[in-house]
Amino acid sequence: MEGFFRIPLKRANLHGMLKAAISKIKANFTAYGAPRINIEDFNIVKEGKAEILFPKKETVFYNPIQQFNRDLSVTCIKAWDNLYGEECGQKRNNKKSKKKRCAETNDDSSKRQKMGNGSPKEAVGNSNRNEPYINILEALSATGLRAIRYAHEIPHVREVIANDLLPEAVESIKRNVEYNSVENIVKPNLDDANVLMYRNKATNNKFHVIDLDPYGTVTPFVDAAIQSIEEGGLMLVTCTDLSVLAGNGYPEKCFALYGGANMVSHESTHESALRLVLNLLKQTAAKYKKTVEPLLSLSIDFYVRVFVKVKTSPIEVKNVMSSTMTTYHCSRCGSYHNQPLGRISQREGRNNKTFTKYSVAQGPPVDTKCKFCEGTYHLAGPMYAGPLHNKEFIEEVLRINKEEHRDQDDTYGTRKRIEGMLSLAKNELSDSPFYFSPNHIASVIKLQVPPLKKVVAGLGSLGFECSLTHAQPSSLKTNAPWDAIWYVMQKCDDEKKDLSKMNPNTTGYKILSAMPGWLSGTVKSEYDSKLSFAPNEQSGNIEKLRKLKIVRYQENPTKNWGPKARPNTS
């Protein structure tokens, strides 16, 4: 016996055995009705309709600043259900009932329960619109908060798999599921998210909704998610690695993860971040003959979040090339010029039949130096070039937010911000990538910053459209070419600029003195004859939006806010 205790390894073994025995006894004990959860060990965090037990010693990820993300996600899944769910759920159920008939005799793997294998329960072949049918995967769940909120707050949710790779996280999910009494809907699952998704793809147990909310980049999870989502399903995707996606320091990393470079040092870099993520989704989907339709794409605080519908459509995959672009942006004056990678034209063939011709693009759209300021162009992309949002979808989200979530500010604490941000997104020009701020332009050509409405009225009088952007305050999207932007901006200054008093080495001097070179006589005469700063439809639209009493941009919500680091689990 003495020898036994002298050997530390054996002592460790004994300790381990004792610990295991005690936890087994504890587990048995709790299984027979004693309280499982000692509330005193936890802080209770209430968000939406969920209450999360959060260990006083932090071992699982929770970031309260992301409530906006979760409130918005609940509202977007409801909107997707209202607009597209019937078709998506119906198809699934038809397919399922057929499959069930074939599978009944020979395969019981599809009847496995969730806790073990993370695959959705067999659908009940319901065609009744009011019966729950939505299978959601929260692939990276942490505390289960989001999954529990989905179960409590979205009417047609049938099952939510709350998955995480960390045993501590899954313990926490189980605890929270039990505490919130949603065991019938939320199924905790311990797995690598990709393994889970590929397994479900293999057994054709796909998800109507997949939520990917990782630390940093979503890239490692995209392929599996695209393959394991139902036809017409909704993917909700977060990326918090904005230092890579929108910063100046890691173009090579941005390329490695997203297949393109961001608009380094440009004010539009947050929109290029969105376009890079959408391009990654689109390129991945294209490999499987699928297309990704952006429903809502937002640059929020310290991350981007996109909501996309995924469906199989080989014909639409053909458009991916021409809706992909690179962008030349001048590192000095900030002007930008987009270069699509493909062209689509309608041609007439034999028998007078029209057909669609897909060709490579012509270019480049710029010279080697910027024609306005002689600056150097930097290249961004390839990235997605098309519309960032679907108006119908935003309108439905806004309706739910206004009508169904009215008087529920306690549950949807960020309702006002959803209204503000989505009103801006809805009114964005859909075919004009990127934006500029009159502040920046005024500082380049040394002007007093003109009121936004004056710039918009000027561009509007020349026949161009303008809108605000949700991605940056006091900035404008426009379909005007850059010669019109510079022209209108310098005309905003009531006093004529005396070029002889400007430093000839400045960018502003270069732009203004080179004007006859970049603005041809005929175009200038046309602009001169049309220009007016009197209010017009364009400036009216923008003023209307700016006067709405909405929270259009977020103030810093708390001290030291931002993406939260992984908790220390050691």
Ligand X SMILES: C[S@@+](CC[C@H](N)C(=O)[O-])C[C@H]1O[C@@H](n2cnc3c(N)ncnc32)[C@H](O)[C@@H]1O
Which residue's beta carbon is nearest to the bound ligand X?
140
242 touches, from ligand X, Zn ion, none (C-beta below 5 to 8 Å by class): none
Q: How far apart are CA 173 and CA 62, in angstroms?
A: 12
Residue 213 touching ligand X (CB under 6 A): yes
CB of 213 to ligand X, least distance (A): 4
Instruction: Report in angstroms how near the CB of residue 252 gets to ligand X at its nearest.
Output: 23
Contact 466, 459 (CB under 8 A): yes
Do the beta carbons of residue 435 and residue 459 sit within 8 Å? no
Residue 192 binds: one of ligand X, Zn ion, none (C-beta under 5 to 8 A by kind): ligand X
Regarding 227 and contact with ligand X (CB under 6 A), the answer is no
Of ligand X, Zn ion, none, which one does residue 332 interact with (CB within 5 to 8 Å by kind)?
Zn ion
Q: Does 207 engage in binding with ligand X (CB under 6 A)? A: no
Q: Which pair of tokens denotes residue 57?
A: 């010693």
Residue 195 annotated as binding?
yes
Q: Is the bond into 382 cis (omega within 30 degrees of 0)?
A: yes
Closest distance to ligand X from the beta carbon of 368 (Å):
44
- Residue 166 binds ligand X, judged by CB under 6 A: yes
List 42, 54, 61, 393, residue binding ligand X (CB under 6 A): 61
Closest CB 286 distance from Zn ion, rounded Å: 34
Q: Which of 169, 185, 383, 442 binds ligand X (CB under 6 A)?
A: 169
Residues whose CB falls within 8 Å of the CB of residue 430, separated by 6 or more in sequence, listed in order: 387, 388, 389, 391
Determine the Cα–Cα distance for residues 330 and 366; give it in Å rounded to an integer.
10
Question: Which 348-407 positions form the footprint of Zn ion (CB under 5 A)?
Answer: 370, 372-373, 375
Cβ neighbours of residue 479 closer than 8 Å, sequence gap 6 or more: 429, 431, 432, 464, 465
Q: Is 333 annotated as a binding residue?
A: yes
Q: Which long-range contacts (CB under 8 A, 24 or more apart) does 286-291 make?
A: 286/317, 286/320, 288/226, 288/227, 288/312, 289/313, 289/314, 289/317, 290/226, 290/317, 291/316, 291/317, 291/320
Q: Which stretch binds ligand X (CB under 6 A): 143-151, 181-189, 417-425, 511-519?
A: 143-151
How many residues of this chain interact with ligand X, rule: CB under 6 A? Answer: 20
The site partner of 169 among Zn ion, ligand X, none (C-beta below 5 to 8 Å per kind) is ligand X
Residue 60 sits in the site that holds Zn ion (CB under 5 A): no
What are 369's strand-pairing partners? 376
Among 74, 142, 257, 306, the residue binding ligand X under the rule CB under 6 A is: 142
Please measure the distance between the N-terminal and C-terminal CA atoms of the chain and give it in whole angstroms.
34
Q: Please give the DSSP secondary-structure letter assigned to residue 403.
A: I
| Helix, strand, coil fractions of the chain, as percent rounded to 5 | 45, 20, 35
Judged by CB under 6 A, the stretch of 102-110, 161-169, 228-236, 387-395 that binds ligand X is 161-169
CA dihedral of residues 111, 113, 116, 117 (deg, nearest 10) = 50
* Closest separation in Å from C-beta 196 to ligand X: 8
Does 76 appear as a known binding residue? Answer: no
DSSP state of 454: H
373 binds, among Zn ion, ligand X, none (CB under 5 to 8 A by kind): Zn ion
444 sits near Zn ion (criterion: CB under 5 A)? no
Give the pairing of strands 377-384 and 303-312: unpaired
Q: Is 66 an interacting residue with respect to ligand X (CB under 6 A)?
A: yes
Task: Choose the contact partner of 370 out of ligand X, Zn ion, none; CB within 5 to 8 A by kind.
Answer: Zn ion
- The C-alpha atoms of residue 420 and residue 411 are separated, in whole angstroms, by 18
Q: Note whether 332 binds Zn ion by CB under 5 A.
A: yes
330 is in an annotated binding site: yes
3-state secondary structure of 304: strand
- Judged by CB, which is closer to ligand X: 143, or 539? 143
For the beta carbon of residue 167, count every other beta carbon within 10 angstroms. 10
Q: Which residue is associated with the tokens 């605000």? A: 468
Task: Look at the block and give the residue holding tokens 């890691």.
Answer: 250
- What pairs with residue 478 in β-bridges? 466
Closer to ligand X by Cβ: residue 213 or 428: 213
User: Torsion over CA of 503, 505, 508 and 514, rounded to 10 degrees?
Assistant: 110
Shortest separation between residue 520's beta carbon and ligand X, angstroms: 53
Cα 203 to Cα 187: distance, rounded to the nearest angstrom: 18
By CB under 6 A, name the binding residues for ligand X.
61-62, 66, 70, 140-143, 145-146, 163-166, 169, 192-193, 213-215
Instruction: Give the interface with Zn ion as residue ranges (CB under 5 A).
Output: 330, 332-333, 370, 372-373, 375
Binding-site residue numbers are: 70, 146, 164, 195, 330, 333, 370, 373
State the binding site for S-adenosyl-L-methionine. 70, 146, 164, 195
